[in-house]
């Protein structure tokens, strides 16, 4: 089957791309608005985009009514945000925060999510997340009338000690993070299993 995307239903395009570009890591993004209300929401249009400087990207679409999501609005206003990677134990709690709440609702308090304060930035981070990133807004790139890519510069990384093989060299055993990833359909996810190793023939271990 071939799909020509010109003049096709955007929902069809979304379903096809979101169900085939898998697995996708999940950024559980924490932000605060100008009145101090916290927001937490998961985004799977997310990945690393570079290391000098350390850049991550979030693809954020508007809400169904066309308005900017709380996460996007807060990042625009405050210029900072937290990214919390999601392990299996937090999957159900993360899913609860995917609901479209009114901007007046503090999702972290609503679901009694324990947080810690950022070391460098005044943002809440989810305490149980095995990997937490404190990010500054690097650039916003409009990619359509109702969507944008947020580039964030990671200024601080919090990583659980159990996953470290060699802290000084930056070697991490990712299986110890027990992260989940977004898959196809309305609610399919994957866990880390069935791994295999394949080294590049022309590379040395860094």
The 10s digit of each residue's pLDDT in 154-193 is: 999 999 999 999 999 999 999 999 999 999 999 999 998 8
The pLDDT assigned to 66 comes to 78
Cβ-based neighbours of 19, under 8 Å, separated by 6 or more? 183, 184, 185
DSSP readout, 29-42? EEEE-TTS-EEEEE
Task: Please report whether residue 199 resides in a domain.
Answer: no
Task: Please report whether residue 166 resides in a domain.
Answer: yes
Within a 13 Å sphere around the CA of 195, how many CA atoms are in the beta-carbon half?
9
Regarding predicted confidence, which is higher, 67 or 80? Answer: 80
Regarding predicted confidence, which is higher, 203 or 155? Answer: 155
The residues pairing with 60 across neighbouring beta strands, listed in sequence order, are 148
CB neighbour burial string for 107-129, b if at least 16 within 10 angstroms, e if fewer:
bbeeeebebeebeebebbbbebb
Residue 140 pLDDT exceeds 80: yes
Domains contained in the chain, number? 1
Q: Is 130 left (phi over 0), alpha (psi -120 to 50) or beta?
A: alpha
What's the pLDDT band for 138 if we cut at 50, 70, 90? very high
Task: Please report whether residue 143 resides in a domain.
Answer: yes
Within a 13 Å sphere around the CA of 96, how many CA atoms are in the beta-carbon half?
11
The residues pairing with 81 across neighbouring beta strands, listed in sequence order, are 135
- Retrieve residue 136's tokens: 């500054």
60: domain CATH number is 2.30.110.10
What's the pLDDT band for 205 if we cut at 50, 70, 90? low
The 10s digit of each residue's pLDDT in 14-69 is: 999 999 999 999 999 999 999 999 999 999 999 999 999 999 999 999 887 778 89
Task: Please report whether residue 206 resides in a domain.
Answer: no
Residue 204 pLDDT exceeds 70: no
Task: Please report whether residue 118 resides in a domain.
Answer: yes
The pLDDT assigned to 149 comes to 98
The 10s digit of each residue's pLDDT in 99-125 is: 988 889 999 999 999 999 999 999 999
Q: Containing domain of residue 72, as a range?
A: 10-190
Alpha-carbon distance of 131 to 176, in angstroms, equals 11
Residue 86 pLDDT exceeds 90: yes
Task: Please report whether residue 132 resides in a domain.
Answer: yes
Task: Please report whether residue 5 resides in a domain.
Answer: no
Closest CA to 133 of 141, 142, 123, 143: 123
What's the pLDDT band for 92 if we cut at 50, 70, 90? very high
Task: Please report whether residue 198 resides in a domain.
Answer: no
The pLDDT assigned to 206 comes to 56
């Amino acid at each position: 089957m071939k799909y020509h995307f010109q003049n096709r239903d955007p929902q069809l395009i979304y379903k096809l791309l979101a169900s085939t570009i898998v697995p996708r890591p999940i950024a559980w993004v924490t932000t605060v608005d100008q009145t101090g209300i916290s927001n937490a929401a998961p985004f799977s249009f997310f990945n690393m985009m570079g290391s000098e400087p350390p850049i991550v990207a979030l693809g954020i679409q508007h809400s169904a009514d066309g308005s900017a999501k709380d996460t996007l609005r807060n990042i625009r206003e405050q210029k900072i945000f937290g990214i919390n990677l999601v392990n299996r134990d937090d999957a159900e709690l993360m899913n609860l925060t995917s609901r479209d709440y009114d901007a007046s609702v503090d999702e972290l308090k609503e679901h009694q999510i324990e947080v810690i304060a950022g070391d460098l930035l005044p943002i809440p981070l989810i305490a149980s997340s095995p990997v937490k990133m404190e990010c500054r807004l690097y650039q916003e790139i409009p990619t359509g009338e109702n969507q944008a890519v947020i580039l964030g510069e990671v200024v601080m990384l919090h990583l659980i000690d159990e996953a470290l093989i060699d802290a000084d060299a930056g070697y991490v055993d990712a299986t110890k993070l027990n992260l989940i990833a977004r898959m196809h359909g309305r609610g399919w996810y994957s866990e880390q299993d069935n791994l295999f190793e394949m080294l590049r023939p022309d590379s040395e271990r860094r």
